Chains A and B, each alone.
Chain A
Amino acid sequence: MIDNGLLVQMLIGALLGVSVYLPLAAGQLSLATPAFYAVGGTLAALLSTTWPALGAGADGSFPLASFLLELLLGGLLAGALALLVGRLVLRLQGIYLAIATIALVEIVRVAILNLPFTGGAIGIFGIPQPFPTAAGYLLPALGLLALAGWVCQRLEVMPLGRAMAAIRNDELAARCMGIDTTRVKLTAFVLSAVLAGSTGALAAHFLNTWNARQGSFDTAVTMLAFVILGGSRSWLGPVLGGLLLTALPELLRPVGDVRLVLFGLVILLGPSVFPQGLITPGLLERLGRLGERAEREPQT
């Protein structure tokens, strides 16, 4: 059943999909999103449970303003980490970059597991709630997604976005056309991290508990699947992929453990059956033309 709780989870999936999409749009296969997601979530979990100034109530409530602040801070912290690490990591190409980001995810995961204040294997629980029900999270999640989508949409008609697309097509040629590819790649990487960090902060509150398992290698695989299945040519692809693939295991829950196998099959067969994902460039073109026609239609 698709209830509000599942909807929020689906939106979180969509957000993480866009986060993985951003470096990919600049031709970089980065699997670092879970690390930034974990960082943002841990920050929110820690702040809300240990900083009284934020106003966590004894009844488990939490002021909306503090919640929004945490979204911001989670994003900023993740972004700062990305800035630090990105310069080093983005010098690497192709598979080396992917492996380096996998390593980053693992290091962050183990750090969160072992640092004295992050709750160890059990994690942090009893994270206060800014909303009484799951439905309350829908608006912030949608808001975050709308923000992310707006940025992605604007990128397509901006020098920065075009530079990303150029790098994706041919990095050397892009450099020879005057593009500082390191800077562009870093920007995409940091944007991706900020989004993941904010999403983590939101998720920590939504899930009420947070531990090191939230950001691990298999979550990276899942998010990658969102992009691959949804289509990597446009940000709509990972949104669709994230929504679908998050809903799928839940909808298949009655089937038991088979759902994870089916999930794996989707990832296994997806690239063969849908090499361009579901949101193909052809589909995008048709949608674009529909949009143009709608604009030209006279008002009656």
Chain B
Amino acid sequence: MTMPPLLEVQDLTCRFGGLVALDRVSFAVQPGEIFGLIGPNGAGKTTLFNLISGVTTPTAGSVLWRGAPITGLPPHRLNRLGLARTFQNLRLFDGLSVLENLLVALQRRPRSGALAGLLASPSHQQAERQRQETAWQLLEELGLSRLAEREAGTLAYGDRRRLEMARALATGPQVLLLDEPAAGLNPSEKDDLCQLIAALRQRHQLTVMIIEHHVPLLMRLCDRMAVLDFGVRIALGSPEQVRRDPKVIEAYLGSGSTQSGSGGAAP
């Protein structure tokens, strides 16, 4: 019995004006795996995330969720399906407190009606208590409890990164897209992050997709990886396979290691 993969992209293409950001990229992500996405700058990694999360619409190709097409659905619908993401440049609700950032994401866990809220009805209070409880649990889990009342914009960088992840988690996703979660972290923080992601995957039964620049981190963490270069997928497989793939080496080091000529790069 074959179940469709949890998340799949097929021939995904994205063109901005004359520029091809993604060119017929395809791969599938299995439930429960940690899937890495690497490639040099400008390879199209964040564009891919934007397409998957509904922020941008592809020029061609499709995104499938459990075999059903979700291409072009708006971000909030995708989140309700079970897809959450973080942003490379961190998009926290800076004016809100850490706790409120999570409460926003916990809107529908559980839901409570507007009228109930206005009247402060028992059902609203009950739902509110549940949301608060979940929020505090997440804060605890991500080591942010002591910062709960602090304004998100005032946090230290490492804490902001963790809050961004906590907030995405708060939406109760099945798939978590992490866009460069280790950017700006020092080596020991990167180690902590690695362990955190693995633990989160376990505890919350997540499937994780990670874009990262710091390749060694992904090598340790990922079950499988895809490599993009100039919008084209040039490799797919286990970290070991990817590490030894000559096309990957060339993409990262340029054509210096072999003789010069066509650099293997798509226009």
* A touching B, CB within 8 angstroms: yes
| Residues of B contacting A181 in the complex (Cβ-Cβ under 8 angstroms) | 76
Contact yes or no, A179 B107, CB < 8 A:
yes
Listed from nearest, the 4 A-B pairs whose CB atoms lie closest are A158-B117, A178-B79, A173-B91, A169-B93
Of residues 156 to 190 in A, which have CB atoms within 8 Å of B's CB atoms?
157-160, 162-163, 165-166, 168-170, 172-181, 187
9 contacts between A and B (CB under 8 A): A154-B117, A159-B111, A162-B96, A165-B93, A165-B96, A170-B91, A175-B75, A176-B55, A178-B171
- For residue A151, CB closer than 8 A to chain B, the reply is yes
Contacts of A187 in B (CB 8 A): 114
Q: Which of B10-18, B98-106, B196-204, B252-260 contacts A (4 or more CB under 8 A)?
A: B98-106
Q: Chain A residues near B124 (CB, 8 Å)? A: 158
CB within 8 A of B75: which of A154, A155, A166, A176?
Answer: A176
With beta carbons under 8 angstroms apart, the residue of A159, A168, A172 that contacts B107 is: A159
Bound form: Cα–Cα A187–B115 in Å: 13
Residue interface mask B178-202, A partner, CB < 8 A = 1: 0000000000000000000000000
> In whole angstroms, what is the CA distance A177 to B173 when docked?
10
Contact between chains at B94 and A177 (CB < 8 Å): no
B80→A159 contact, CB < 8 A: no
Instruction: Select from chain A the residue with minimum beta-carbon distance to B53.
Output: A176
| In contact, B104 and A174 (Cβ under 8 angstroms) | yes
Cα distance A165–B80 in the bound complex, in angstroms: 20
A151: contacting residue among B79, B92, B118, CB under 8 A? B118
Alpha-carbon distance A173/B103, docked complex (angstroms): 14
B143 in the interface (beta carbon within 8 A): no
Which residue from B85, B91, B114, B171 sits with its C-beta under 8 Å from A160?
B114
Query: Which residues from A are CB-within-8-Å of B118?
Result: 151, 154, 158
Q: Is B246 an interface residue (CB 8 A)?
A: no
Instruction: Check if B114 sits within 8 Å of A175, measured CB to CB.
Output: no
Interface size band for B: 20 to 34
Query: Does B29 have its Cβ within 8 Å of any Cβ on chain A?
Result: no
Q: Decide yes or no whether B167 CB sits under 8 A from chain A.
A: yes
In the complex, chain A residues 110-163 whose Cβ is within 8 Å of any chain B Cβ = 151, 154-155, 157-160, 162-163
Bound-state CA distance A165–B93 (Å) is: 8
- How far apart are the CA atoms of A187 and B100 in the complex, in Å? 21
Q: Is B229 among interface residues, defined by CB-CB distance under 8 A? A: no
Determine whether B95 belongs to the interface, using a CB cutoff of 8 Å to chain A.
Answer: yes
**Residues of chain A whose beta carbon lies under 8 Å from any beta carbon of chain B:** 151, 154-155, 157-160, 162-163, 165-166, 168-170, 172-181, 187
Q: Within 8 Å of chain A (Cβ to Cβ): is B74?
A: yes
Q: Across the interface, which residues of A come within 8 angstroms of B66, CB to CB?
A: none
- Give B136 Cβ to nearest chain A Cβ, in Å: 16
Are the C-beta atoms of A177 and B92 separated by less than 8 Å? no
| C-alpha spacing A162/B100, complex, angstroms | 8
| Cα–Cα distance between A173 and B105 once the two chains are bound (Å) | 10
B222 interface residue per 8 A CB criterion: no
Query: DSSP class of A's interface residues: helix, strand, loop or mixed?
Result: helix
B107 to A178, Cβ gap below 8 A?
A: yes
**CB < 8 Å neighbour of A162 from B75, B107, B167:** B107
Cα of A178 to Cα of B81 in the assembled complex, Å = 9
Please, which residues of chain B bring their CB within 8 A of the CB of A172?
55, 75, 91
A169-B80 contact, Cβ under 8 Å, with A154-B118, A163-B104, A178-B108: no
Which residues does chain B contribute within 8 Å of A159, judged by CB atoms?
A: 107-108, 111-112, 117
- Known: A158-B124, A159-B112, A178-B105. Is A173-B87 also a contact (CB below 8 A)? yes
| Chain A residues with CB under 8 A of B60 | none
Given A162-B103, A170-B93, the answer on whether A177 and B79 have CB atoms closer than 8 Å is yes
A169 and B95 form a contact (CB under 8 A): yes
Tell me if A177 and B104 are in contact (CB < 8 A). yes
Measured CA separation A155–B118 after assembly (Å)? 7
Chain A residues whose CB sits within 8 angstroms of the CB of B100 once the complex forms: 162, 165
Q: In B111-150, which residues have CB < 8 Å from any A CB? A: 111-112, 114, 117-118, 120, 124, 128
Interface centre among A159, A162, A165, A178 (most CB of B within 10 A): A178
- For the complex, what is the distance from the CA of A151 to the CA of B117, rounded to whole Å? 10
B209 is an interface residue with CB less than 8 A from chain A: no
B104 touches A176 (CB 8 A): no
Give the residue among A162, A163, A175, A176 with the most B Cβ atoms within 10 A: A176
Chain A CB within 8 A of B84 CB: yes
Q: Select A180's contact among B76, B84, B92, B111, beta carbons within 8 Å.
A: B76
Instruction: Point out the residues of chain B lying under 8 angstroms from A160, CB to CB.
Output: 114, 117
Give Cα distance in the complex from A162 to B96, angstroms.
9
Residues of chain B within 8 A (CB-CB) of A162 are: 96, 100, 103-104, 107
B173 CB to nearest A CB, Å: 9
Complex: how many Å from CA A132 to CA B85?
A: 61
Q: Given contacts A159-B112, A176-B79, are A165 and B95 in contact (CB under 8 A)?
A: yes
A180 to B100, CA, bound (A): 18
Q: How far is the CA of A228 from the CA of B136 in the complex (A)?
A: 35
